[in-house]
């Protein structure tokens, strides 16, 4: 089957589509699912390299069908223009009849849309196609790793520029806005893709002082009160003061693939407690990067971190103080919350090609948030490869 | 029943909550729904003035129950801390038994979440609670109108500053980034709330030249190729040239309530066709603002616009050229796509307190996009009140 995409739309090379499809069909076999009807943007992007309004039907029996509502970016076998979901029914009738378990992207598509799609293609039971796609996407292709690594390099270059963006008397949000501007001028798309609908954030977090300890509605490593009750996370207008670290954790979505990295900065003298916590964070990152090898359980990384934290007597400040986030790292890629998850109840096992962010962070009362976050590729052999290389010390803003 | 919120969290005054609840229960009665379990951020925000992780159960029989996962922002009668959705089951058992038709926010909550919630509270059939909430939210309270009007004033003030942000040789995205920065420095939250999961955009659109005619996957008035295939909408790096209008349609989310407005700018001489189209856009806005009164059908506004466009011989260029968007305006509020919709198949009828954006726009081949967009409040008597007051001429950047 051949598909011909309009050239200038930068869609994926044919070999890359095949590699990704291979991962998807393997995950489908593992889950005993015959086909998946994809309707969410992240997964449409994964299988085409482009977001469009439409659907993709992937069948283990070999069928790959594109249904395009707009724009008309693709022609060839198995490509259909449709006006509405119901137009898929007759086109898919034979395929659906042969597929006994059909998955839908149920974790990222509204209930009413899934119900309409199910009826449109004549399926009775709904299997979890989101879980299949999450599993497939957890192991990146070399091209995906390269894109994430490029995002990591670009973000790290901008983190090196933060001291020249700082001016005395600035608030957290004022510094964040200058970082946002430089990110955008260097090609950052701004959009912060998240799986599911619950988490909301705008381009990242800059936290200083006590605001780091404000509890957030989201399961983020760090909170922050935010600028208003409709977006209660992140910077809240706190003036950056001498001796109070500034934690910078910004969006690095340059090309549809995210890197994730955090660095800390300070004006004036750095308190010893902050430096010690930051050093511990670095050592945890290194220990996890060294331990995270194919076949190792992801939850063991959380235990490893907790042991190091307990030994240092820092458990009260780890991943928050007033409230604690229950993880130390997470997969990244097209969205910021992919598999594997480095958390106590995680069932994930590392595989070569996983890309993860490790973020052991501390909130110290009276001082603020400190810690580093890096992105890593899990390698077939040896320690995980770091993809974010800005200096890891608490950097002076002066 | 009394609820006590933590003071500093800026939640709604009690009278405001009652006013909004009154609209919700009226819409529930209209739809013959007994209760709604709210699980999406926009509707949680509507009924509390704050986003949190949790749920609200609204019953026409008088019950209003809050279920908070995090943070702990509320205490009082009917307020429950829960760890997981299943904890709601026993707490709601009696209420649910009395309610025969229970709605869920099915258009804004993933399928898997709705299924889990339904099971958690022991409901068999799922009614459309999103439709109920959309109907309730389409008529704003005076406080909501005030917030939208304030956002409109702030956006309009920033639109007046656009000429001083322009430098010769800039690209569309470079100008957009400077506007984003000024918006953010004036308190814009950045987040662009949209109902549903399909539309994605980052802080708005700046379009110039032929890029305005690039078809987008989204049902926006104007397209644009965007910076990359993972966000194929908006500015694409086109250099701003003399005689080519620049259309600026940016996010005005300052406090959780959006205004929506578009203005055009130009460097060098303005082509007559552009000026004529812009004048026609202004006249259409005025005609609709004058006709949009309580009891009038929203779809009649689309006909009114189409008649004026046809009379001017501009139908080929209206709401796009290569592809045409099928509406001329839409409700705004907490999200950018609320009711009423000013489109040919709309069943909406105007009511006092609707807040709408009217955006009759044109794409002229070889020139680009022109037109104005304003936000309006539908009044009990007289023409709709304009909430966005930047000058409507095509403004010189020189």
- In eight-state DSSP terms, residue B65 is E
CB pairs under 8 A between A and B: 183
Q: Give the per-residue pLDDT at A7.
A: 41
Quickly state the pLDDT bin for B125 (edges 50, 70, 90).
very high
- Asked if the Cβ–Cβ distance from B49 to A203 is below 8 Å, we say no
**Locus of tokens 């809050």:** B66
- Asked if the Cβ–Cβ distance from B200 to A9 is below 8 Å, we say no
Per-residue pLDDT of A263-285, as tens digits, reads 999 999 999 999 999 999 999 99
Question: A285: burial class by Cβ within 10 Å (0-12, 13-18, 19+)?
Answer: buried
Per-residue pLDDT of B201-251, as tens digits, reads 888 999 999 999 888 787 777 789 999 889 989 999 999 999 999 999 999
Q: Say which residues have a Cβ less than 8 Å from residue B172's Cβ, sequence separation at least 6.
A: B206, B207, B208, B211, B235, B236, B237, B238, B240, B246
Strands A64-70 and A53-59: antiparallel
Least confident of A97-101, A385-389, B387-391: A97-101
Looking at chain A, which residue has its C-alpha nearest residue B170? A185
Per-residue pLDDT of B255-313, as tens digits, reads 999 999 999 999 999 999 999 999 999 999 999 999 999 999 999 999 999 999 999 99
Looking at chain B, which residue has its C-alpha nearest residue A254? B228
**Nearest by CB to A184, which of B180, B230, B334?**
B180
Looking at chain A, which residue has its C-alpha nearest residue B188? A227
CA–CA min distance A382, chain B (Å): 33
Question: A138: burial class by Cβ within 10 Å (0-12, 13-18, 19+)?
Answer: buried
**Locus of tokens 């430096």:** A275
> Is the peptide bond prior to A266 cis by the omega test (within 30 degrees of 0)?
no
- Asked if the Cβ–Cβ distance from B108 to A197 is below 8 Å, we say yes
Quickly state the pLDDT bin for A190 (edges 50, 70, 90).
very high
**Nearest by CB to B112, which of A45, A107, A253?**
A107
CB contacts, 8 Å: A41 with chain B: 197-198, 200
- Asked if the Cβ–Cβ distance from A256 to B228 is below 8 Å, we say yes
Average pLDDT over residues A161-186: 98
CA–CA dist B249, A108 (Å, integer): 28
CA–CA min distance B126, chain A (Å): 10
| Superfamily of domain B3-137 in the CATH hierarchy | Creatinase/prolidase N-terminal domain (3.40.350.10)
Question: Is residue A62 predicted with pLDDT exceeding 90?
Answer: no
Quickly state the pLDDT bin for A36 (edges 50, 70, 90).
very high
- Asked if the Cβ–Cβ distance from B71 to A215 is below 8 Å, we say yes
**Nearest by CB to B9, which of A112, A216, A229?**
A229
> What CATH number belongs to A139-396?
3.90.230.10
CB contacts, 8 Å: A102 with chain B: none
Angle at B206 between CA B201 and CA B208, to 5 degrees: 135
Kind plus residue range of the DSSP H or E element containing B5? strand B3-5
Quickly state the pLDDT bin for A5 (edges 50, 70, 90).
very low
Looking at chain A, which residue has its C-alpha nearest residue B51? A230
Looking at chain B, which residue has its C-alpha nearest residue A226? B189
**What ipTM is given for this predicted complex?**
0.95
CB contacts, 8 Å: A69 with chain B: 217
**Residue B246 in 3-state DSSP?**
strand
Q: For an interface test with B, which of A44, A109, A111 has the most B Cβ atoms less than 10 Å from its Cβ?
A: A111
CA–CA min distance B117, chain A (Å): 12
Q: For an interface test with A, which of B201, B229, B321, B322 has the most A Cβ atoms less than 10 Å from its Cβ?
A: B229
CB contacts, 8 Å: A114 with chain B: 111
Looking at chain A, which residue has its C-alpha nearest residue B253? A230
**Nearest by CB to A111, which of B45, B109, B218?**
B109
Q: Is A365 within 8 Å of A142 (Cβ atoms)?
A: no
CA–CA dist A264, A248 (Å, integer): 6
Per-residue pLDDT of B308-338, as tens digits, reads 999 999 999 999 988 888 999 999 999 999 9
- Asked if the Cβ–Cβ distance from B71 to A334 is below 8 Å, we say no
Average pLDDT over residues A384-388: 98
Q: Which residues pair with A329 in a beta bridge?
A: A342, A358
CA–CA dist B374, B262 (Å, integer): 7
CB contacts, 8 Å: B196 with chain A: 110, 113
Q: Say which residues have a Cβ less than 8 Å from residue B191's Cβ, sequence separation at least 6.
A: A200, A202, A230, A231, B253
Per-residue pLDDT of B336-374, as tens digits, reads 999 999 999 999 999 999 999 999 999 999 999 999 999
- Asked if the Cβ–Cβ distance from B191 to A180 is below 8 Å, we say no
- Asked if the Cβ–Cβ distance from A109 to B104 is below 8 Å, we say no
Question: B351: burial class by Cβ within 10 Å (0-12, 13-18, 19+)?
Answer: middle
CA–CA dist B5, B21 (Å, integer): 17
CA–CA min distance A383, chain B (Å): 31
**Nearest by CB to A200, which of B50, B111, B191?**
B191
Looking at chain B, which residue has its C-alpha nearest residue A46? B230
CA–CA dist B41, B52 (Å, integer): 8
Per-residue pLDDT of B166-196, as tens digits, reads 999 999 999 999 999 999 999 999 988 888 7
Looking at chain A, which residue has its C-alpha nearest residue B225? A9
A299-304 long-range contacts (CB < 8 A, ≥24 apart) are: A299/A342, A299/A343, A299/A344, A299/A345, A299/A346, A299/A347, A299/A348, A301/A328, A301/A329, A301/A342, A301/A358, A302/A327, A302/A328, A302/A342, A302/A343, A302/A344, A302/A346, A303/A344
Looking at chain B, which residue has its C-alpha nearest residue A129? B112
DSSP secondary structure string, A108-177?
A: TSBHHHHHHHHHHHT-SS-EEHHHHHHHHHHS--HHHHHHHHHHHHHHHHHHHTHHHH--TT-BHHHHHH
Looking at chain A, which residue has its C-alpha nearest residue B43? A230
Angle at A286 between CA A396 and CA A134, to 5 degrees: 105
CA–CA min distance A334, chain B (Å): 9
Quickly state the pLDDT bin for A14 (edges 50, 70, 90).
confident
Per-residue pLDDT of B21-47, as tens digits, reads 999 999 999 999 999 999 999 999 999
Strands B79-81 and B64-70: parallel
CB contacts, 8 Å: A228 with chain B: 10, 189, 255-256
Q: Indicate the domain borders of chain B.
A: 3-137, 139-396
- Asked if the Cβ–Cβ distance from A52 to B232 is below 8 Å, we say yes
Question: Is residue B6 predicted with pLDDT exceeding 70?
Answer: no
Q: Is B227 within 8 Å of A189 (Cβ atoms)?
A: yes
Question: B3: burial class by Cβ within 10 Å (0-12, 13-18, 19+)?
Answer: middle
CB contacts, 8 Å: A196 with chain B: 110
CA–CA min distance B42, chain A (Å): 9
- Asked if the Cβ–Cβ distance from B196 to A110 is below 8 Å, we say yes
Q: Report the predicted TM-score, pTM, of the whole model to 2 decimal places.
A: 0.96
Asked if B3-137 and B139-396 have one fold, the answer is: no
- Asked if the Cβ–Cβ distance from A189 to B107 is below 8 Å, we say no
**Nearest by CB to A9, which of B106, B108, B229?**
B229
User: What tokens were used for B323?
Assistant: 């592809």
CB contacts, 8 Å: A216 with chain B: 70-71
CB contacts, 8 Å: A185 with chain B: 174, 177
CA–CA dist A206, A221 (Å, integer): 13
């Amino acid at each position: 089957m051949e598909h011909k995409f309009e050239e200038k739309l930068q869609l994926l090379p044919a070999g890359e589509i095949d590699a990704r499809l291979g991962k998807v069909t393997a995950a489908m076999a593992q889950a005993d699912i015959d086909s998946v009807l994809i309707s969410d943007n992240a997964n449409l992007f994964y299988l085409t390299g482009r977001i469009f309004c439409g659907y993709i039907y992937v069948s283990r029996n070999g069928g790959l069908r594109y249904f395009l509502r707009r724009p008309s970016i693709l022609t060839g076998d198995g490509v259909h223009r449709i006006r509405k979901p119901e137009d898929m029914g007759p086109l898919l009738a034979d395929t659906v009849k042969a597929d006994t378990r059909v998955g839908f992207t149920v974790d990222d598509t509204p209930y009413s849309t899934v119900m309409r799609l199910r009826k449109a293609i004549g399926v009775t039971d709904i299997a979890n196609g989101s879980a299949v796609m999450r599993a497939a996407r957890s192991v990146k292709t070399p091209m995906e790793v390269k894109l994430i690594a490029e995002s990591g390099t670009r973000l790290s270059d901008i983190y090196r520029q933060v001291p020249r963006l700082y001016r005395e008397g600035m608030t957290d949000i004022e510094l964040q806005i200058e970082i946002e501007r430089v990110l955008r001028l260097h090609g950052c798309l701004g959009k912060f893709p998240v799986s599911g609908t619950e988490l909301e954030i705008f381009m990242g977090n800059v936290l200083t002082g006590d605001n780091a300890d404000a509890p957030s509605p989201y399961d983020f490593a760090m909170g922050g009160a935010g600028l208003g009750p409709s977006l209660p996370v992140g910077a809240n207008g706190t003036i950056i003061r001498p001796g109070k670290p500034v934690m910078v954790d910004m969006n690095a979505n340059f090309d549809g693939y995210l890197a994730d990295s955090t660095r800390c900065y300070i004006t004036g003298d750095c308190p010893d407690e902050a430096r010690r916590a930051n050093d511990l964070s670095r050592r945890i990152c290194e220990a996890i990067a060294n331990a995270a090898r194919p076949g190792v359980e992801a939850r063991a990384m959380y235990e490893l971190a907790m042991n190091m934290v307990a030994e240092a007597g820092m458990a009260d400040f780890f991943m928050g103080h007033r409230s604690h986030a229950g993880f130390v790292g997470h997969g990244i890629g097209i969205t910021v919350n992919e598999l594997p998850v480095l958390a106590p109840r995680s069932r994930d096992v590392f595989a070569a090609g996983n890309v993860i962010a490790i973020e052991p962070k501390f909130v110290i009362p009276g001082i603020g948030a400190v810690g580093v976050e890096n992105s890593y590729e899990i390698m077939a052999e040896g320690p995980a490869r770091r993809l974010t290389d800005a200096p890891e010390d608490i950097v002076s803003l002066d």
